[in-house]
């Protein structure tokens, strides 16, 4: 993990008991209510006409600041939901809510040393430091459910038999036990003032998020996916990628893995990359996405840019976070391939038929919804079509920019006319696929998407 991208992190105690977290959320609700009341008073005495027309009473600038401050201190499910929403490029949510989640994504807090010490002792005992030649007690990264430290594993326990640089991911205390209650509080806050459209199916979204978050809180599960992706059946031997080794002594709440030296492919490093770098990175990530779906049937579903590091020396994409990994059934992937293949070939009826089979549609939709659904799904196939000029250009002013603009225009129609939430499996799948395209767009990359698609079809037919 990169040294140069350390942000100014803030230390604060994480409320770890359910009562403690309830107290904080209750205080947040009260302060938001106070902020809304103040806004009502302000508008009632203001002579400016614009003040009577503008925006939500709940999501004023002062209330947005209250939300961001509290969510970054609480961490856990609320912050994870914020991070998830902030990397979407679909404009599903009101601008005020998107702004909150973007600002939460840019903030970070970590545990005070005494709290981190408690977690390490619970996992490895009082002499846990004996496993390391060195351990930096200040983390270099902090996210929604844990923080990451630089360390050097002792030769006596290292998988190579010599001291090895390692990244130690330490989970915040009791974060797994707080998921359900946290998401309940967040749902309450998001539904205040009926801000969210009915077609968003927030209950289903939160249900899926709950399940995914419980999986992510199991670092032993993440370690198993690290080993699978690093095996000869998956990415070992593929010189385009680097999967770190994982230490056998890792536990459910502390994950120790190989430290890699690449840099995040996120926006902060874009200006340092050549066009060749950008094209190679985007090509590999889109190719990996397709391979995970249609060859491995196993996908790391979090497209957050910090999960992909670019090593300019080895010209490898280093993959560092497998907490959001999941497997898909052969039947589901077969059906989803049929849908994507229909969009690539431009077959409207086949797109509807596969959508019905998958559960995107009920069969009772009106023509407005059918047309919007087919157009939005067909947009995913545009980069792979034989009629599309290759290499396909992503970024501002390109054909992809026009495609995403069309999708955004269709979202209000689908939210107003949708009869059923998307299939459960597609939440993570769409997040990764759209995230891969968004990353390519941020990089301004050019990718021969048709060649990547033809290789996938060939592998399925062989």
Encode 207-217: b = buried (16+ Cβ within 10 Å), e = exposed: ebbbebbeebb
Residue pair 292/243 in contact by the 8 Å Cβ criterion: no
Rounded CA separation 297/456 (Å): 12
Active site residue 302: yes
Rounded CA separation 111/138 (Å): 9
Dihedral, 406, 407, 410, 415 alpha carbons, nearest 10 = -160
H/E stretch holding 121: helix 113-124
Rounded CA separation 159/226 (Å): 15
Q: What share of the chain is helix, strand, coil (3-state, %, to 5)?
A: 55, 10, 35
* Among candidate residues 89, 118, 113, the one with its CA nearest the CA of residue 101: 89
Indicate which residue of 182, 280, 302, 321 is catalytic. 302
User: 433: which residues sit within 8 A by CB, 6+ positions away?
Assistant: 289, 293, 380
Residue pair 220/251 in contact by the 8 Å Cβ criterion: yes
Rounded CA separation 90/285 (Å): 20
Q: Supply the DSSP symbol for 46.
A: -
* CA within 13 Å, CB half, 328: 26
DSSP output for 18-84: HHHHHHHHHHHHHHHHHHHHHHHHHHHH---THHHHSS-SSS-HHHHHHHHHHHHHH-HHHHHHHHH
Could you give the residue numbers annotated as active site? 302
């Amino acid at each position: 993990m990169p040294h140069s991208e350390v942000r100014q992190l803030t230390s604060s105690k994480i409320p770890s008991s359910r009562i403690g977290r309830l107290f904080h959320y209750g205080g947040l609700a009260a302060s938001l209510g106070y902020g809304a009341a103040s806004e009502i008073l302000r508008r009632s005495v203001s002579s400016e006409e614009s003040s009577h027309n503008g925006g939500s009473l709940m999501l004023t600038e002062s209330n947005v600041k209250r939300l961001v401050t509290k969510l970054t201190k609480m961490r856990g499910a609320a912050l994870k939901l914020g991070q998830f929403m902030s990397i979407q490029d679909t404009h599903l949510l009101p601008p005020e809510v998107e702004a909150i989640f973007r600002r939460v994504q840019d903030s970070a807090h970590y545990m005070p040393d005494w709290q981190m010490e408690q977690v390490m002792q619970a996992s490895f005992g009082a002499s846990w430091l004996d496993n390391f030649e060195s351990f930096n007690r200040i983390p270099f990264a902090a996210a929604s459910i844990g923080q990451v430290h630089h360390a050097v594993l002792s030769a006596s326990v290292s998988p190579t038999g010599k001291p090895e640089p390692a990244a130690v991911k330490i989970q915040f205390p009791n974060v797994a036990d707080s998921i359900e209650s946290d998401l309940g509080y967040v749902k309450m806050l998001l539904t205040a003032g009926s801000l969210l459209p009915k077609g968003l199916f927030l209950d289903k979204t939160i249900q899926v998020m709950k399940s995914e978050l419980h999986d992510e809180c199991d670092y032993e599960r993440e370690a198993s996916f690290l080993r699978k992706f690093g095996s000869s059946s998956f990415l070992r031997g593929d010189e385009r990628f680097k999967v770190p080794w994982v230490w056998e002594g890792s536990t459910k709440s502390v994950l120790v893995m190989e430290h890699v030296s690449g840099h995040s492919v996120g926006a902060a490093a874009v200006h340092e990359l050549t066009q060749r770098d950008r094209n190679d990175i985007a090509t590999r990530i889109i190719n990996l996405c397709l391979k995970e779906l249609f060859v491995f049937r196993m996908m790391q579903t979090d497209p957050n840019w910090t999960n992909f590091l670019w090593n300019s020396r080895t010209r490898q994409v280093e993959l560092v976070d497998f907490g959001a990994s999941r497997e898909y059934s052969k039947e589901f992937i077969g059906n989803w391939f049929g849908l994507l293949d229909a969009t690539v070939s431009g077959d409207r009826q086949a797109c509807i038929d596969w959508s019905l089979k998958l559960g995107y549609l009920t069969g009772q939709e009106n023509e407005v919804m059918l047309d919007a659904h087919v157009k939005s799904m067909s947009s995913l196939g545009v980069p792979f079509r034989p009629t599309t000029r290759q290499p396909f250009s992503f970024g501002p002013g390109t054909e992809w920019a026009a495609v995403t603009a069309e999708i955004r225009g269709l979202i209000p129609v689908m939210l107003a006319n949708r009869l059923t939430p998307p299939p459960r499996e597609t939440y993570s799948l769409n997040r990764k696929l759209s995230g891969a395209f968004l990353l390519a767009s941020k990089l301004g990359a050019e990718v021969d998407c048709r060649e990547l698609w033809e290789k996938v079809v060939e592998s399925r037919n062989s």
